[in-house]
Chains A and B, each alone.
Chain A
Amino acid sequence: MFTYTLRRLAFAVPTVLVISLIVFLMLDMAPGDPTASLPLTIPPEVREQIRAALGLGEPVIVRYFRWLQMMAVTEPLHMIAAATGWDIAPAGPRILSWQTRSPVGDIIIQRIPQTLWVVGLGYLFGILIAVPIGVISAYKQYSWFDQIGTFVSMVGFSVPTFFTGVVFILIFSVWLGWFPSMYDTTLRVTDWDSFMRQVRQIVMPVAVLALFNASQISRFMRASMLDNLNQDYVRTARAKGLREQTVVLVHVLRNSMIPVVTVIAIGIPTVFTGAIITEQIFRVNGLGDALIRAIYVSDWPMVQTITFIFAILIVLFNLIADVLYGILDPRIRYD
């Protein structure tokens, strides 16, 4: 298992490199000019100087390797330094956002907590709701519980979050006035009162995301449980005189979780990518929001960096899913 993991990690390196090249080149070739948003009164020669100052005068391959070097070494060290307070940040140039002129690493570090809190909680609650619903739906297949569960998850699955988000805002913010429609990042939790305000503002985005994620995962859970409930080993477990709850929650659930856990692991990068829209609706200034804003103003270093981080996360969690599969299923041995 260990050598398998190492081998997979080694294979992940060229994959990530190829992705980085594609991400860099595609954005480099994209139309749009970082000086386009500057005032038209700027004379062309000054405009050229600005472009040169942004590093655009160099050949593309040089720029790629510089970006890659900063991406792989400088920025992670700065990010770790910012997160932990250790003095490991190297001197030298960093990837600068064209829009804000500040290092992209710093912006990303500022944005990650909001995304993790809102979207991460949405995913976590989604899982916590989905697993019991999936188990009960499968065990009581075609019961009213299963029928309602199927209907709700079909709705949750097929209605996009930008629609449910707006509906939630309309009902709970506009009509009922229970929750604020905007997420206030500047809110600091210092006492009970500010904690409750934080809870209130986080409820709706988390609920929208949890509903969407739970719809998907509960379907997987239900299908996986149904597959296993009809297996011969379930009959054996019953014939041994085990309690029904032991049969279902130990024997069947343990087997059913194998595919579901991998699906959950593969889905974790979508916590970041898939939340772009939800962050927009509830004005959460997370990573997705930063990406959208950077795209609007052709801030390519920012877009390249965030896209590349998403790509790394996807590769990484695919690997984690495979390793988890091997841990959960004793029949699978990778070595």
Chain B
Amino acid sequence: MPDGAVPVLDVKNLKTVFRTRAGDIHAVNSVSFSLKPGELLGVVGESGSGKSVTMMSLLGLLPSPPAEVREGEVLLSGRDLLKATPEGLRKVRGREVGFVFQDPMTSLNPVFTVGFQIMEPLRKHMGMDRKRARDRAVELLELVGIPDARRRLKDFPHQFSGGMRQRVMIAIALACDPKVLIADEPTTALDVTIQAQILELVKELRQRLGMAIIWITHDLGVIAGIADRVAVMYGGQIVEHGPVREVFADAAHPYTRALLQTVPKLREPRADKLRVIEGQPPILGRQPTACPFRARCPHVFDRCHRENPPRRPIGNDHDTACFWNHRTGNPI
């Protein structure tokens, strides 16, 4: 990865709220990250930490109302998507940014053939005629490793297994050669062996096609295996971010450290109980004015209740949003 390359995607200070009767829920708070061409950024965090909402906000995929992207910039190759018209945004979706979702069993339309669903973006975005779109669809299915591709175009989603359906989803996402692929927990609904196959497939496709990937997951093992950089999200914020090796070897934020400890280890003596992070993630009824992790943090001190820590650099491209210095064990 060439350092200092122009990022293909640059998100600055993104804020998304859900307007409910009970008041606004601040689901994404000042999230900033960037993605260089060909890079794979892993986004981790527990359920409700704002991972998916952040990614859906980028391309206006959240239902509005209740969702509202309030602030920020989403620069895709220098163009701000938040300022784009709905029509302009639509042309970016599927064309420049591909999406793969969590549950392949429900993410494909049950009443249309797989071929129709792959050919749709090709015909709409690329203006291909039926024949060319079909040839390209066959190519795509072969690319994602579906045997007997030409015949399978006529099949319906229910005639594919879960892993095969996720391959079809990936084929749809890749149809128009996007610059960015956003994969929202693409392997969560699959069993482990299929998960490994999909991971291998994505690694291989990335090398072959060279697009940048954002991979959302709550599985740290997956991140360690494929990501270049990792962003850890908690309470709608990025609490730690850095190259994957550094974050795993030298985790700075107490939440990242706790997450790493929850992963069961094969080589260590068997624990009687799985480790957990005590407590519940916060519900963000207000713009946070204190650290969102303070209620569950083992190192909490008075400043954490008064201020929301900003992200501060702690290494090469490595930063964290915490007032506690993990190297000295003292407040900064």
Q: A239-B61, A241-B91 are in contact. Are A232 and B101 (CB under 8 A)?
A: yes
Q: Which of these, B110, B156, B158, B172, contacts A240 with CB under 8 Å? A: B172
Q: Given A241-B91, A241-B95, A241-B124, are A236 and B112 also a contact pair (CB < 8 Å)?
A: no
- 20 example contacts (A-B, Cβ-Cβ < 8 A) are as follows A232-B101, A232-B103, A232-B106, A232-B107, A233-B108, A236-B101, A237-B109, A238-B61, A239-B98, A239-B101, A239-B173, A240-B99, A241-B90, A241-B91, A241-B124, A242-B120, A242-B121, A254-B109, A258-B111, A330-B158
Contact with A330, one of B95, B110, B125, B169 (Cβ below 8 angstroms): B110
Q: How far is the CA of A236 from the CA of B107 in the complex (A)?
A: 6
Residues of B near A233 (CB, < 8 A) are 106-110
Q: Is A255 within 8 A of B109, CB to CB?
A: yes
Cα separation A178 to B167 with both chains bound (whole Å): 64
Given known A-B contacts A236-B172, A330-B158, A241 and B110 have beta carbons under 8 A apart: no
CB-based contact B108/A239 at 8 Å: no
Most buried by B among A242, A244, A254: A242
> Per-residue 0/1 for B103-141: is the Cβ within 8 Å of any A Cβ (1 yes, 0 no)?
100111111100000001100110000000000000000
Interface residues of A in 231-266 (CB under 8 A from B): 231-233, 235-244, 246, 251, 254-255, 258
Interface check B296, CB cutoff 8 A: no
Please tell me if the beta carbons of B99 and A239 are within 8 angstroms of each other in the complex. yes
Check B121–A241 contact: CB distance below 8 A. yes
Residues of B within 8 A of A244 (CB): 90
Min Cβ gap A258→B in Å is 8
Q: Kindly list chain B residues whose C-beta atoms are within 8 Å of the C-beta of A242.
A: 90, 94, 120-121, 124
In the complex, chain B residues whose CB is within 8 Å of the CB of A239: 59, 61, 93-94, 98-99, 101, 173
- Is B92 an interface residue when CB atoms closer than 8 A count as contact? yes
Contact A255–B107 (Cβ < 8 Å): no
Contact between B124 and A255, CB atoms less than 8 A apart: no
* A255 and B111 contact, CB distance less than 8 A: yes
* Given contacts A254-B111, A254-B112, A330-B158, A240 and B93 within 8 Å (CB-CB): yes
How many Å lie between the Cα of A246 and that of B98 in the bound state?
18
A227 contacts partner chain B, Cβ-Cβ < 8 Å: no
Q: Give 1 or 0 for each of B161-189: 1 = CB within 8 Å of chain A CB.
A: 00000000100110000000000000000
* Shortest Cβ distance from residue A3 to the other chain B in the assembled complex, whole angstroms: 21
Bound CA–CA A231/B103 (angstroms): 11
Q: Which residues of chain B from 66 to 103 have any CB-CB distance to chain A below 8 Å in the complex?
A: 90-95, 98-99, 101, 103
Chain B nearest CB from A105 CB (Å) reads 43
A231, A240, A258, A328 pick with most chain B CB within 10 angstroms = A240
CA distance A235 to B107 in the complex (A): 8
A231 to B110: give the CA distance in the assembly, Å. Answer: 11
Q: Is A329 an interface residue (CB 8 A)?
A: yes
Rounded to whole angstroms, the CA-CA distance of A246 and B74 in the bound complex is 26
Q: How large is the interface on B (under 10, 10 to 19, 20 to 34, 35 or more residues)?
A: 20 to 34
Min CB–CB distance A280 → chain B (angstroms): 42
A243 vs B94: C-alpha distance in the bound complex, in angstroms? 12
| Interface: A331 (CB within 8 A) | yes
By a CB distance below 8 angstroms, the chain B residues around A236 are 99, 101, 107-109, 169, 172
Q: Are B109 and A251 in contact (CB under 8 A)?
A: yes
Binary flags per residue of B267-288, CB closer than 8 Å to A gives 1, else 0: 0000000000000000000000
Bound Cα distance A238, B62 (Å)? 10
Q: Are B111 and A240 in contact (CB under 8 A)?
A: no
> Chain B's nearest CB lies how many Å from the CB of A327?
11
Using CB atoms, name the residue of chain A closest to B95.
A241
Q: How far is the CA of A241 from the CA of B95 in the complex (A)?
A: 7
Chain B residue nearest to A238 in the complex (CB)? B61
A255 neighbours in B (Cβ, 8 Å)? 109-111
* CA of A190 to CA of B325, assembled, Å: 96
**Are B94 and A241 within 8 A (Cβ)?**
yes
Are B90 and A243 touching (Cβ within 8 A)?
yes
A232 to nearest B CB, angstroms?
4
For B98, the closest partner residue in chain A by CB is A239
The answer to whether A330 and B109 touch across the interface, beta carbons within 8 angstroms, is no
> Which of A239, A243, A244, A329 neighbours the largest number of chain B CB atoms within 10 Å of its CB?
A239
A332 smallest CB distance to B (angstroms): 10
Complex Cα gap A233–B172 (Å): 12
Name which residue of chain B comes closest to A328, CB basis.
B111
CB distance from B207 to the nearest CB of A (A): 24
Q: How far is the CB of B158 from chain A (nearest CB, A)?
A: 5
Closest 8 A/B residue pairs (Cβ): A241-B94, A241-B93, A239-B99, A240-B94, A232-B106, A233-B109, A330-B156, A232-B107
Q: Which of A235, A251, A258, A330 contacts B61 (CB 8 A)?
A: A235
Which residues from chain A contact B124 at a C-beta distance below 8 Å? 240-243, 246
Q: How far is the CB of A256 from chain B (nearest CB, A)?
A: 10
Contact across chains for B111 and A241 when beta carbons are under 8 A apart: no
Q: How far is the CB of A81 from chain B (nearest CB, A)?
A: 43
**Distance, CA A236 to CA B109, complexed state (A):** 8
Give complex CA distance A251, B112 in Å: 8
- Report the nearest B residue to A258, measured CB to CB: B111
In the complex, are the beta carbons of A331 and B158 less than 8 A apart?
A: yes
Question: Quick one: closest A residue to B159, CB to CB?
Answer: A330
Expressed in whole angstroms, the Cα–Cα distance for A251 and B111 within the complex equals: 8
Q: How far is the CA of A251 from the CA of B116 in the complex (A)?
A: 11
Q: Which of B61, B106, B169 contacts A231 (CB 8 A)?
A: B106
C-alpha gap A193/B154 in the complex (Å)? 54
Q: B111–A330 contact, CB under 8 A?
A: yes
- B287 CB to nearest A CB, Å: 28
